[in-house]
Structure 1
Amino acid sequence: MTRYITSRIGQALLVLWAAFTISFVLLQAMPGDAVLIKFQNPEYGLSPEQLADIRAAYAADGTVLTQYLHTAGRFLVGDFGYSLQAGVAVSAQLATNLPPTVRLAGFAFVVAVLIALLLAVLANIQGFGRLRGIIQSVPSLFVSVPTFWLGIMLIQIFSFRLRLVPVINPGPWEGLILPVLAVAVPISAPLAQILLRNIDQVKTRPFVAVARAKGASHAGVLWRHVAKNAILPVLTVGGVLFGELLAGAVITETVFGLNGIGSLTEQAVNFQDVAVLQAIVVLSAAAFVTINLLVDLLYPILDPRLKAKPETAR
């Protein structure tokens, strides 16, 4: 078990290093000079010597290797540098913009899981047999709906027409209802598809037939035997999808006017704010890696067979 945990942590650190390195190379390859774009404006009235000092502070005049080592050293101690556009520490911007995105992603993931479970239950409840085909086609419909289009439709229907959820100056929780739905519906589709398929596969296993032969009810077999074995593969997909929620925040937060990581990313791209962009890339990679690492560590706990494999090999 120790070797398994060490291996997974090592892989996670390798992914983080790769994300940092690739983002650094790509951002350094961007055309233009972000420092000059920001400070060479005559309105600032900066002399060439002052511009040189600013460039030195951002290590903009060093070689690519020097800049890489300088940036890597700062990241290791939690220093993400300063934003060229805002003139404040990047860590301060992240501390302000990250909580709304995490809150949106967390609630959206919970709602997506609930939708997937609801579809799986409805498709397997006795009495819904005639509707099973329609229920199984719902995830295909959900996954084909663009997030930005769904967000606009939700605003049009629930805010402008029905006037149920305000989008102009909403409360802290009211403002999350429509964005959460816009993110959760597409995310729920792959979860529901995999869960439905796994349930159908597990139903054909011999132990299910034995349980039914012993007199267990349909609901009892579904809950005690089928669901427990069908849910494990969904964990992996769930971890991947939760990591993707941060990446999808740009579109959702733009549609609903939320001030989160998405809006911060948009501003950083517009102003070529390299320090902010690289911090967001590494932060997203860290969130993705951490979630999937937790899923990997949960697998041996939920499935004892995986824990027993290393012992057998010895």
Structure 2
Amino acid sequence: MNTLAWAGRKVGGALVVLWLVASAIFIAIRLIPGDPAEAIMGGPGSQASAQALAAARAEYALDQPVITQYLLYLGKLATFDFGTSYSLKQPVTQVMGEVLPNTLWLSLMALAAAWLLALCFSALAMRAGRIGNQVGSLLEIIAAAVPHFWLGAVLIMLFSSALGWLPAVDNGTSRGLVLPILTLALPLAGFLTQLMRDSLSEAMGSQFALAARARGESRLKLFWRHGLRHAALPALSLTGWAFSSLLSGAVVVEAIFARPGLGRSLLSAVLARDIPMVTGIALFSALVYIVVMAISEGIERMINPAGESR
């Protein structure tokens, strides 16, 4: 497929996805019980007067028909105007810009750690015997299924409370990042290893691999030069999904380790019914998913050009 046509298809698909996400958010917000004007004025406990509530409805067009509200909402989003946070009284883009680097750095480090662990586990699985493979497979399934909140609590009890090696909360140092990164990376590493193990087994048992072994090539060298390329493709195709899952997992992890970031801001915004913040973070997360998926597909096309016709 022509690169320009592929890029155009991706951009068109991205616009459709963002429109669907924005529409779903608009509908979900309107289904939440309660008066949005109260959230604007600080919540039901603000004891805002009827005149103040009416002024808030007029300012945010909440007194207009729903279709008018929807069109105004889409128009603002099209110009990247996410409005002002109800609870923080600051532009949403400004708040997101302050906390975004923390979450992106945490997610990228967790993604790199997950891939590194998956590669190491796959290499060990290649050299392990039947019992070792069975034990490794069981550990991978357990790791992939462990919830972030449970894993984070266990790591804190082990490495902070019992051993005292690492801080229980993010203290702004590199040591404070270790436990949040492991909490995000371990479940993903288990999932990636499961994918890579099956592909690696198939690649190492192929006719090409058998012929290379017959020519005297070592099993380890065959793994790094040929097997890894085929084993990584299925996992690489899911990297976009994996990165998005890390962003969603950051909501829990940042709350557990008291780390300022996009996930913690989203949790606070949901509790405060801060609609502009929820909308901005949700749309940004969808955009990140789209971009990372496009990048991972582009890398996959470079590694496996024969797959372009799919």
Under a length normalisation based on structure 1, what TM-score does the superposition of the two structures give? 0.91
| Residue pairs, 1:23-34, within 5 angstroms | 23-34=25-36
AA in 2 matched with 1:156: M
- Structure 2 match to 1:219: 220
1:198-222 C-alpha deviation (Å, 9 max, x unpaired): 0011122211122122222212221
- Structure 2 match to 1:240: 241
1:131 CA drift (Å): 2.3
AA in 2 matched with 1:197: D
Unmatched segments (≥5 aa) in structure 1 = none
1:146-170 C-alpha deviation (Å, 9 max, x unpaired): 2111111111111122111123572
Q: Quick one: distance in 2 between partners of 1:271 and 1:34?
A: 11
1:135 CA drift (Å): 2.1
Q: Quick one: distance in 2 between partners of 1:298 and 1:162?
A: 41
1:299 CA drift (Å): 2.2
1:132 CA drift (Å): 2.7
- Structure 1 match to 2:78: 76
1:51 CA drift (Å): 3.5
1:254 CA drift (Å): 1.4
Judged with a 3 Å threshold, the aligned counterparts in structure 2 of structure 1 residues 153 and 146 are, in CA distance, closer, same or farther, namely same
Judged with a 3 Å threshold, the aligned counterparts in structure 2 of structure 1 residues 113 and 274 are, in CA distance, closer, same or farther, namely same
Q: Quick one: distance in 2 between partners of 1:66 and 1:212?
A: 69
| Residue pairs, 1:144-159, within 5 angstroms | 144-159=145-160
Among 97, 108, 121, the alignment partner of 1:106 is 108
Judged with a 3 Å threshold, the aligned counterparts in structure 2 of structure 1 residues 116 and 306 are, in CA distance, closer, same or farther, namely same
- Contact 1:199-1:227 within 8 A present in 2 as well: yes
| Residue pairs, 1:60-71, within 5 angstroms | 60-71=62-73
| Residue pairs, 1:86-235, within 5 angstroms | 86-125=88-127, 131-167=132-168, 170-235=171-236
- Structure 1 match to 2:18: 16
- Contact 1:9-1:293 within 8 A present in 2 as well: no
Query: What SS is found at the alignment partner of 1:248?
Result: helix
1:129 CA drift (Å): 5.9
Q: Quick one: distance in 2 between partners of 1:40 and 1:280?
A: 20
Query: What SS is found at the alignment partner of 1:231?
Result: helix
- Contact 2:170-2:257 within 8 A present in 1 as well: no
- Contact 1:244-1:288 within 8 A present in 2 as well: no
| Residue pairs, 1:263-278, within 5 angstroms | 263-278=264-279
Q: Quick one: distance in 1 between partners of 2:220 and 2:241?
A: 30
Under a length normalisation based on structure 2, what TM-score does the superposition of the two structures give? 0.92
AA in 1 matched with 2:159: F
- Contact 2:92-2:276 within 8 A present in 1 as well: yes
1:34-55 C-alpha deviation (Å, 9 max, x unpaired): 2224528899786644443322
1:225 CA drift (Å): 1.7
- Contact 1:119-1:192 within 8 A present in 2 as well: yes
- Structure 2 match to 1:3: 5
- Contact 1:34-1:271 within 8 A present in 2 as well: no
| Residue pairs, 1:49-64, within 5 angstroms | 49-64=51-66
Q: Quick one: distance in 1 between partners of 2:94 and 2:125?
A: 47
Q: Quick one: distance in 2 between partners of 1:238 and 1:45?
A: 48
